């Protein structure tokens, strides 16, 4: 809406009269008099040319002076009541709620692959097998070693039993002979043989335990040559082919990537540090993906992580949104643009942000006149640089000064701001109501 503020017509007439009086003063200064004009024109012909130039210059200046008092047009917009929704935008990628990478802990050659892309698998289902002949041989070898160690235990037990019987006979003979036979040396040798037999038995039993553990390890390695599915899900990726050699010396190679349930997915977005203060768990959101530009999907915030991530100097915080994908339209890895609703206000006073940004034009102080003399009257000057409005806007925290028109004059109004969506701002308090017209800009055209 445009509002016209007109200047009084007598002010324009006063400007013309002032310039006519200035013209007479110039004529008098230059010595051009009507009474003896003929003689002066003959003696000083250059005065005629000078007078013509001055008259032409005045003819140009007067319209400029009049234009300086042209009416000013203001654009206004009404305060209205309505709903305000404050949102935060962020981008991220979709991923399954539970995604498992299936690897292998043993090295070997892939013999068979039983699962392919998009296959649905169950817990315990065989996905692939290795050529297990080498592992089977190692297991048989460790089994034989275990049997040998167990036989050694039997041998040491027999030796220990023989030493124990011999020691018993020596004790009995020494008791019957009154300590004469056997000799002390024979008794010491018998005791040493008995102790050595006990140590050999303990060592043999330890060797059996070691052989048993080796055999168990080989059995485990043999079982790991078969790759099973750890979850019920869908095969997202398959990284092997039959005949391919896999090496797990330093880390387990990933053979399959499985998603447990694609009907429930997570959307992980990066929220800017300037917006993370208003984002909380439980807030609703919507998002779009490039695959379905005409569809909007709902989501719900389930987690706002405290750990920050810095990418190209921008600090963001990972925020997780729960997504219902019952229709299976969404796929892992899709890039999504989310709009998070952080605040909602219903039936509140709304003002355009353009009215908050408006600043009144500079107005000269009352009673102040120009002191430029004749040269100032002849040559218009541009407005001084760095000029400020006569009234400084009061913007402190939530307090904001806006402007309205009262009988053609600008009047300041102080309001208390609330939340904003970037285009409109809530008015929490102030002497305005729905329908109040506030100035938003100065019009560049005279409509």
Q: How confident is the model at residue 406 (pLDDT cuts 50, 70, 90)?
A: confident
User: Helix axis angle, 133-176 relative to 184-223, nearest 10°?
Assistant: 160
Q: Where do the structural domains in the chain lie, given as residue ranges?
A: 1-70, 88-97+257-345, 132-224
pLDDT at 92: 96
Confidence at residue 59, expressed as pLDDT on a 0 to 100 scale: 72
Length of the chain, please? Answer: 447
CA distance 216 to 27: 125
Q: Assign 214 to helix, strand or coil.
A: helix
- Whether 323 shows a pLDDT value over 70: the answer reads yes
64-70, long-range: CB < 8 A, 24+ apart: 64/380, 65/15, 65/19, 65/380, 66/12, 66/15, 66/16, 68/380, 69/7, 69/11, 69/12, 69/15, 70/7, 70/446
Q: What is the pLDDT of residue 276?
A: 95
303 or 68, which is more confident: 303
5 pLDDT above the threshold of 70: no
Nearest to 372 by CA among 70, 65, 20: 65
Contact between residue 271 and residue 339 where contact means Cβ atoms under 8 Å apart: no
- Write down the mean pLDDT value for the chain: 83
What is the SS3 assignment for 77?
strand
Q: Residues 257-265: what's their mean pLDDT?
A: 94
Sign for the CA dihedral angle at 82, 83, 86, 91 comes to negative
Residue 15's pLDDT band (cuts 50, 70, 90) = very low
pLDDT at 364: 53
Considering the domain delimited by 88-97+257-345, tell me its CATH architecture.
Answer: Beta Barrel (2.40)
Ramachandran quadrant class, 308 (left: phi over 0; alpha: psi -120 to 50; beta: rest): beta
CA pair distance 185, 302, nearest whole angstrom? 84
């Amino acid at each position: 809406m445009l509002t016209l503020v007109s200047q009084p017509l007598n002010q324009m007439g006063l400007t013309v009269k002032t310039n006519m009086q200035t013209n007479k003063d110039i004529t008098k200064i230059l010595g051009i008099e009507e009474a003896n004009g003929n003689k002066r024109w003959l003696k000083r012909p250059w005065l005629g040319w000078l007078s013509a130039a001055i008259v032409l210059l005045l003819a140009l200046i007067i319209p400029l002076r009049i234009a300086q008092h042209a009416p000013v047009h203001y654009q206004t917009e009404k305060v209205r009541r309505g709903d305000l929704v404050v949102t935060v935008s962020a981008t991220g990628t979709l991923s399954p709620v539970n995604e498992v990478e299936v690897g292998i802990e043993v090295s070997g050659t892939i013999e068979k692959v039983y699962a392919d892309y998009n296959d649905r698998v169950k817990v315990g289902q065989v996905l692939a097998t290795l050529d297990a002949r080498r592992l089977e041989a190692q297991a048989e070898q460790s089994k034989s070693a275990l049997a040998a160690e167990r036989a050694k235990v039997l041998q040491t037990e027999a030796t220990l039993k023989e030493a124990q019987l011999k020691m018993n006979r020596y004790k009995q003979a020494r008791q019957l002979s009154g300590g004469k036979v056997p000799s002390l040396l024979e008794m010491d040798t018998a005791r040493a043989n008995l102790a050595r037999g006990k140590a050999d038995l303990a060592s043999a039993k330890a060797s059996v335990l070691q052989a048993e553990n080796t055999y168990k390890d080989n059995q485990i390695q043999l079982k790991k040559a078969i790759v099973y599915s750890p979850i019920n899900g869908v095969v997202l990726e398959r990284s092997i082919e039959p005949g391919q050699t896999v090496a797990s010396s330093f880390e387990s190679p990933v053979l399959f990537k499985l998603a447990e349930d694609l009907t429930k997915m997570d959307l992980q977005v990066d929220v800017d540090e300037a917006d993370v203060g208003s984002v909380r768990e439980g807030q609703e959101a919507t998002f779009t993906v490039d695959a379905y530009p005409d569809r909007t999907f709902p989501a719900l915030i389930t987690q706002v992580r405290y750990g920050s991530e810095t990418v190209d100097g921008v600090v963001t915080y990972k925020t997780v949104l729960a997504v219902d994908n019952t229709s299976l339209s969404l796929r892992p890895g899709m890039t999504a643009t989310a709009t998070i609703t952080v605040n909602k206000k219903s039936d509140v006073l709304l003002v355009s942000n353009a009215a908050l940004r408006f600043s009144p034009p500079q107005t000269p102080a009352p009673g102040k006149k120009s002191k430029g003399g004749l040269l100032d009257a002849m040559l218009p000057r541009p407005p001084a640089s760095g000029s400020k409005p006569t009234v400084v806007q009061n913007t402190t925290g939530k307090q904001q000064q806006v402007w309205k028109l009262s009988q053609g004059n600008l009047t300041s109004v102080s309001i208390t701001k609330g939340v904003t969506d970037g285009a409109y701002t809530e008015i929490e308090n102030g002497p305005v109501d729905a329908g109040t017209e506030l100035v938003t800009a100065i019009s560049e055209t005279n409509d």
